[in-house]
Amino acid sequence: MPATADPEAEARADLAAIPTYYTKVAAVSPINAGLIEVELGGGLDEFATLGGDEFFYMMMPRPGAEPIPDDYTMAAYMAQTDDERPMGAYYTVRRWDAERRRMTIWVVVHGHDAGVGGWFERCRVGDRVVIWGPRHSFSPPVEAREQLLVADETGFAAVAALLDETPPGRPSTVVLETIDEQHTIDLSGFPDATVRWLFRGAAEPGTGDALLRAVRDIDLDAAWLVAFGAAESRQITAVRRHLRDDVGMPAASVFMTGYWRRADD
């Protein structure tokens, strides 16, 4: 009899086969009061972009740990315990420059030293980053006539990257939540996009239902519409349910991803 397949083992093998790249910080610059742009260069000659909302798992040593070795792979990562693994987090590629072989990401900064965000806030040109990927879940489909893009700060890079790929003349409705006007991004280069900003002020990120209420206020036609969202897990799940249950969009046209999850109170 044939051997029984092990889905978990197959999944691990698939993940281990995803490429690992060893690159460095090439430039760092502020975008707004809470967002920085980091350009990575070197070691990316073999990288082939997937487009859309492609993302990488980016790794760097924990404070006081040895540098990540040149032969480090995701297979090695999965063989380690949580305490042994380097720090890491997923980031969407904002821009890939094929000519210069450089990758740009946007990083939300929180004003504290802990974690990957703190590392990027302190990083300098030449600092080494190990990245694993790419993977992606969404690209603007050719057959769509309109699109809805919904995000908080963690999804701004994905929204901007998707607008870059949107065919001219296709209307985009964009709903973005952040703290205030000092934390917005410039989307004036996308004339087919109608952008609505939501400001939460002093409220904690990931709380409230402003994204859901804003989407409910839009007159949406499920026919030929595609929707992408990236924000706090429970908030974006509520938007997905509205689009599926109330607007009547088919599952294949709704791509809502929890980019992070707020800790329970």
Q: CA-to-CA distance for 179 and 202, rounded, in angstroms?
A: 7
Provide CATH 2.40.30.10 ranges for the chain: 7-135
Six-digit token string for 53: 């909302």
State residue 102's pLDDT score: 98
State residue 2's pLDDT score: 45
State residue 74's pLDDT score: 84
- Give me the residues paired with residue 93 across strands: 105
pTM, full prediction: 0.91
Provide CATH 3.40.50.80 ranges for the chain: 146-260
Q: What is the H or E stretch that residue 40 is in?
A: strand 35-41
State residue 53's pLDDT score: 94
Which CATH number describes the domain made up of 7-135?
2.40.30.10
For residues 104 and 94, the answer to whether their CB atoms sit within 8 Å is yes
Question: Is cis: bond before 250, omega within 30 of 0?
Answer: no
205-230 burial: b if 16+ Cβ within 10 Å, else e: bbeeebbbebbeeeebeeeebbbbbb
Task: Encode the chain (265 residues) as per-residue pLDDT tens digits.
Answer: 445 566 565 556 666 678 999 999 999 999 999 999 999 999 999 999 999 999 999 999 998 888 899 889 888 888 899 989 999 999 999 999 999 999 999 999 986 667 899 999 999 999 999 999 999 888 888 788 999 999 999 999 999 999 999 999 999 999 999 999 999 999 999 999 999 999 999 999 999 999 999 999 999 999 899 999 999 999 999 999 999 999 999 999 999 999 999 987 5
Q: CA-to-CA distance for 201 and 12, rounded, in angstroms?
A: 42
State in words which class domain 146-260 has: alpha beta
Kindly report the backbone phi and psi dihedral angles of residue 231, in degrees, each rounded to the nearest multiple of 5, phi listed first: -165, -165
